[in-house]
Amino acid sequence: MPFVPLQMDKEQVNHWENHSTVDEFILLGYQEYPALLFIAFLATYITILLGNGLIVLVTTLDPALRTPMYFFLRSLSGLEMCYTSVTLPKMMANLVSGDHSISLPACAMQMFCMLFLGGTECFLLAAMAYDRYLAICLPLRYMIIMSPRVRVGMVVISFAISFPIQLLQIGLIFSLPFCGSNEIDHFFCDIPQVLKLACADLYANEVAVYTENIFFVVVPFVLIVASYVHIARAILQMPSGTGRQKTFSTCSSHLTVVSLFYGSAMLVYLCPQTSDFARFSKFLSLLYTIIIPLCNPLIYTLRNREVKAAFGRLLGKKLSLEGNTRIN
């Protein structure tokens, strides 16, 4: 027997039973200029994979970059490639086929992967802030505290915390009955838009969503702020202006990513979902799902001499091997 919300009268029950066969959603996030959007999304996706893939490659192969900071950067780049792959391929497939539908199971899987990887990234960014705190405030103990076992454990814990909570969240959302309209005014399956289509009392779900957002967005953000308060104090106590500038430059890339990621995520998930704001949040969500993964390689390489030098060494080694091959 299908679940019927308790607060429905007989007429509402009959209406729900007549409209309870929703087995797919229609994504309305993109309707115009499909060819242009497909080219833009394809170019963006390729650039994200190449840029973040190169960071993973160079930080893995170059011995000079086998430090805790670059271990976390490598983990972040790998996460960004997975994060983007949850949405962009489906968006491009819909543009090519002209079919903007997504089945309920596919929607649930897409939402779970988005929440799981997004929650993991929140705690990973907090781990990166803690790494910078140790490197600047406790430099003599840095390599002892941030041992290979500790840094791997921090990444594993970031994944382990997010997985069961997000799985429970998806179970709560997709156990709801969906009836009436099946149109989602978004580029992908996101919590606020999907919950609008549910035919049930959403109070418990809204409390669960808000509590989860506090845990995954606010708590890591507070930890990051606390780390940078200590870092700022340490930098201000440095006697040399050059030393202060050099030390701050090691944190500037991370601060930029944190500002973009948390700023957009807080606006989308913690602000009241009015009709006018919902239209704006649809495009704001592209910032943390596409734009930030696209910009990450540039943010972490343009002002990082070690990464640029490692790219040069990797390219020089490749050219040298190709030259030896031609000679032989």
Distance CA 79, CA 85 (A): 10
* Each residue's pLDDT tens digit, 75-116: 999 999 999 999 999 889 888 888 888 999 999 999 999 999
Whether residue 294 has pLDDT greater than 80: yes
What are residue 19's phi and psi, to 5 degrees? -130, 30
* Each residue's pLDDT tens digit, 300-326: 876 677 777 777 777 766 555 555 555
Domains assigned to the chain: 24-307 (1.20.1070.10)
Angle, CA of 227, 51 and 218, to the nearest 5°: 30
What are residue 20's phi and psi, to 5 degrees? -100, 15
Distance CA 25, CA 66 (A): 45
Q: What is residue 103's three-state secondary structure?
A: strand
Please choose, from the candidates 304, 316, 291, 298, the residue with its C-alpha nearest in 3D space to the C-alpha of residue 51. Answer: 298
Whether residue 268 has pLDDT greater than 90: no
**Residue-level pLDDT at 327:** 52
- In whole angstroms, how far apart are CA 21 and each of 25, 172, 177, 206? 11, 19, 9, 24
* Each residue's pLDDT tens digit, 123-152: 999 999 999 999 999 999 999 999 999 999
**Residue-level pLDDT at 320:** 55
Distance from the first to the final alpha carbon of the chain: 75
Long-range CB pairs of 272-278 (<8 Å, 24+ gap) are: 273/192, 278/185, 278/192, 278/193
